[in-house]
Amino acid sequence: MSIGPVQSDPPGLNPGDPRSSPLAGVAPLSLFLRTVTCVFPRFIHKCRVIHRSGRSGLSSAAPQSDGGSTAGRTGPSVPIDGVKGRHVTDERPLVLINDETLLDEVLRLAAAVGCEVERVPDTVAAESRWAGAPLVIVDEDVLTAAESPPRRDGVVLVCKSALPAGSWRVAFEAGVSKVVVLPDSENVLISAFADIAEGPRGGDGRVLAVLGGCGGAGASVFAAATGLAVCRDGADALLLDCDPLGGGADLVLGMERAEGLRWSGLRDTSGRLSMTDLAAALPARSHGGGSLSVLSCDRPGGGPTGPAGPTTEAVTAVLAAARRAGSTVICDVARHLGAGAAAAVANADLVIVVLPAEVRACAATAGVIRLLGRHTGRARIVVRGPGPDGLGGPAIARTLGVQLAAEFRSERALPRAIERGLFTGGPRSSLATAASEVLEALASACAEPVRS
């Protein structure tokens, strides 16, 4: 085989012997790798698993230093994958499992949420990381070994079936906090891995639900203005469109043509979501010092029943992810409270009902307030004035028996700005002031020790 001109033969190569060619064995090697990948799925996981040898006879592939064996040592960071400059910290779960089937399951679950783990062969090799690892995953063989590890918090015991009665005492003495039967209870382990993979929380997230007390109240505009107010304060926000017949929160912001995820892409979602992955998939708009991501319903016309709204499971999963990430979420909710909208209201720290300062609007809002009472005790109103007969926010609040969160005045230029996709929330407008007042009320509601 000719591979191009060769100046000279490197030492040790015999041009007449095909086995000594630099390319010898490439085809068999690639075939071998394909076979291994198909037959042994854990081969893939090992790309993200740090293996550490101990004094059990397993040798480390790392070169030995003059100071002796490096087996079992850890430092502030450990190079991985042979890539120069790439490091991982010691904030990795420690995996000490002898059962190959359980090990495969654990590595698969960790890989699914992008959590890097460190696998050790025995308790001796685990000594240096045992106390400091954020999470330790073990099986029954480890707990019943002659040299069982010392007690610590954050130990998860994985097993194939329910733990025998005699093993509970041993598990308790080792500090086991959770017993996970795989694969039946894999969501427990997925959540634990995801917490570590997502890193420290930015703080507890906040959820605000906004809905109209009547048709045309301006709830969607107020929800968008509140999201932009969060961004002006230098933070990121997430606007959830939970009204499939509302026309689209993305249209309010001029983002209807932006590429990204819509609720239809989360129809079958339940369980746990990564906020990092979700935010990366959503259309977003930079504003002030932050970014407003939007999760909208799909445009009408997708079927005979119109656009489908978000499911209860999808809304719950998104809100949980946002709370873990410390994000502020504004939910634009339909006042008839479909499944997804009801989930948003039930999970909200504060619910705002927007209505114009009109008698008929007050009558309609009274029914909405009664409906909300089945889901939350944290409803307040925002009144859009001026009313045709001088009706003010305080009088409306007394009539409805709820607190007044804010008032703002209608702006003539606002409909045109929205029509042209130029809505910015008017940082100096009464609308922006009302949005900021609602955010202050949201912060106060979150500070209350007990939720209604």
Q: Across the beta sheet with 94-96, what order do the strands follow?
A: 49-51, 117-119, 94-96, 136-138, 155-159, 176-181
Of 54-68, 107-121, 333-347, 361-375, minimum mean pLDDT range: 54-68
| Phi/psi at 101 (5° precision) | -65, -45
Q: What is the distance between the alpha carbons of residues 174 and 148, in angstroms, rounded to a whole number?
A: 8
Q: What is the distance between the alpha carbons of residues 36 and 40, in angstroms, rounded to a whole number?
A: 5
Kindly tell me if the per-residue pLDDT of 304 is higher than 60: no
Nearest Cα residue to 383 out of 347, 354, 420, 419: 354
Tens digit of each residue's pLDDT (9 = 90 or more) over 26-64? 333 333 333 333 333 333 343 345 444 443 322 223 333
State the CATH architecture for 206-447: 3-Layer(aba) Sandwich (3.40)
Contacts of 212 (CB under 8 A, 6+ apart): 218, 219, 335, 353, 354, 355, 368
More confident residue, 53 or 81: 53
The model's confidence at residue 449, banded by pLDDT at 50, 70 and 90, is low
Q: Provide the percentage of residues in the chain whose pLDDT is more than 70.
A: 76
* Highest mean pLDDT pick, 54-63, 276-285, 305-314: 276-285
pLDDT at position 267 is: 79
The model's confidence at residue 8, banded by pLDDT at 50, 70 and 90, is very low
Tokens describing residue 293 = 């991501």
Residue type, 217: A
How large is the average pLDDT for residues 311-337?
A: 93
For 315-369, the DSSP string reads: HHHHHHHHHHHT-EEEEEE-TT--HHHHHHHHH-SEEEEEEES-HHHHHHHHHHH
pTM of the model: 0.66
pLDDT at position 52 is: 45
Query: What b-and-e string marks burial along 394-415, b requiring 16 or more CB atoms within 10 Å of the CB?
Result: eebbeebebebbbbbeeeeebe
Distances (CA, A) of 115 to 93, 191, 279, 325: 8, 11, 18, 16
pLDDT at position 114 is: 83
Does 40-54+86-197 match 206-447 in CATH topology?
yes
Tens digit of each residue's pLDDT (9 = 90 or more) over 199-252? 665 558 999 999 999 999 999 999 999 999 999 999 999 999 999 988 899 999
Domain residue ranges of the chain, discontinuous segments joined by +: 40-54+86-197, 206-447
Looking at the chain, the number of H-run helices and the number of E-run strands are 16, 16
Q: Find the angle CA(370)-CA(375)-CA(381) to the nearest 5 degrees.
A: 55
pLDDT at position 425 is: 87
- What is the chain's mean pLDDT, rounded? 79
pLDDT at position 141 is: 87
**Greatest pairwise CA separation for the chain in angstroms:** 103
CATH number among 3.40.50.2300, 3.40.50.12240, 1.10.1200.10, 3.40.50.720, domain 40-54+86-197: 3.40.50.2300
Kindly tell me if the per-residue pLDDT of 89 is higher than 80: no
Q: What residue spans of 65-113 are helical by DSSP H?
A: 100-112
Tokens describing residue 417 = 């700005």
Tens digit of each residue's pLDDT (9 = 90 or more) over 404-415? 999 999 999 999
Q: Do residues 447 and 415 lie in contact, with contact meaning Cβ atoms separated by under 8 Å? A: no
pLDDT at position 276 is: 82
Nearest Cα residue to 435 out of 232, 213, 206: 232
Nearest Cα residue to 439 out of 207, 204, 201: 207
Q: Find the angle CA(326)-CA(402)-CA(423) to the nearest 5 degrees.
A: 55
The model's confidence at residue 303, banded by pLDDT at 50, 70 and 90, is very low
Give the three-class secondary structure for 87: strand
pLDDT at position 148 is: 72
Kindly tell me if the per-residue pLDDT of 76 is higher than 50: no
Give the other-Cβ count within 10 Å of 237's Cβ.
26
Nearest Cα residue to 220 out of 253, 267, 185: 253
Q: Do residues 386 and 358 lie in contact, with contact meaning Cβ atoms separated by under 8 Å? A: no
Q: What is the distance between the alpha carbons of residues 340 and 343, in angstroms, rounded to a whole number?
A: 5
| Phi/psi at 328 (5° precision) | -100, 125
Tens digit of each residue's pLDDT (9 = 90 or more) over 172-184? 887 888 999 999 9
Q: What is the distance between the alpha carbons of residues 206 and 270, in angstroms, rounded to a whole number?
A: 20
